[in-house]
Structure 1
Amino acid sequence: MIKHIVLFKLKDRSPESIEHTASILRSMNGKIKELLSLEIGTDVIRSERSYDISLTAVVETLEDLQTYQVHPVHQEIIAHMNEVKDVSIAVDYEI
């Protein structure tokens, strides 16, 4: 199994913007069969070094991760995130 983690820092770091974007990320839940689990969290510390939103997903294989990456629902999310994010970082590892 593969765990996929992405952290986002948004251009607009207001609570409203963060929650709106988190809800858009959550909208993928149940729409991409390769996602065995999807968790979206928002930072509660809100320090300057904090990232605003985390996405944690689990898929069965690297092939499933690639399928998720190109899925039309995910591509719509990517388009939105490219507009609202300042920076993102990611890590993918076997569990």
Structure 2
Amino acid sequence: MTHIVMWRLLETALGRPASENAVLLKAELESMRGKVPGLTGLEVGIDTRRRSNSFDVVLICAFESAEALEAYHDHPAHVAVKPLVQAVRGETVIVDYPAAAAP
């Protein structure tokens, strides 16, 4: 399964501008690497183009199964990141889809 989340951050939150919160959020999300069973890939990107229709931060995760993705939502490493996400996000979009089979 592939899990993609994009956040448009608040201009300011927690006393910091969105650009600083993006860096902090990236580090917190990357801290999940190697801690969540079934999470086989994790990439976090910060938008550099800053267009009006851009989102600020993207998380792309690969899971070995739909069950692993479901278990991830309640895993302590993921739960630990949620307060920061909730404090800095303005808008969120999510896409989950089965990984494509190799040709």
Q: Which moved more, 1:9-18 or 1:66-75?
A: 9-18
TM-score, normalised relative to structure 2: 0.85
Deviations along 1:21-62, one digit per CA (max 9) or x if unpaired, are: 111111111111221000001111111211000000000111
Matches of 1:61 and 1:17, distance apart in 2: 31
Match of 1:6 in 2: 5
Q: Per the alignment, in what secondary structure is the counterpart of residue 78 of structure 2? A: helix
Question: Which of these two proteins has the greater Rg computed from alpha carbons?
Answer: 2
- 8 Å Cα contact 2:5-2:93 kept in structure 1: yes
Letter in 2 for 1:58: A
Match of 2:21 in 1: 17
* Corresponding pairs, count: 94
Structure 2: unaligned runs, 5 residues or longer = 12-16
Q: Which moved more, 1:47-56 or 1:4-13?
A: 4-13
Match of 2:59 in 1: 55
Structure 1: unaligned runs, 5 residues or longer = none
Matches of 1:40 and 1:50, distance apart in 2: 15
Match of 1:72 in 2: 76
Matches of 1:57 and 1:88, distance apart in 2: 16
Letter in 1 for 2:42: L
TM-score, normalised relative to structure 1: 0.91
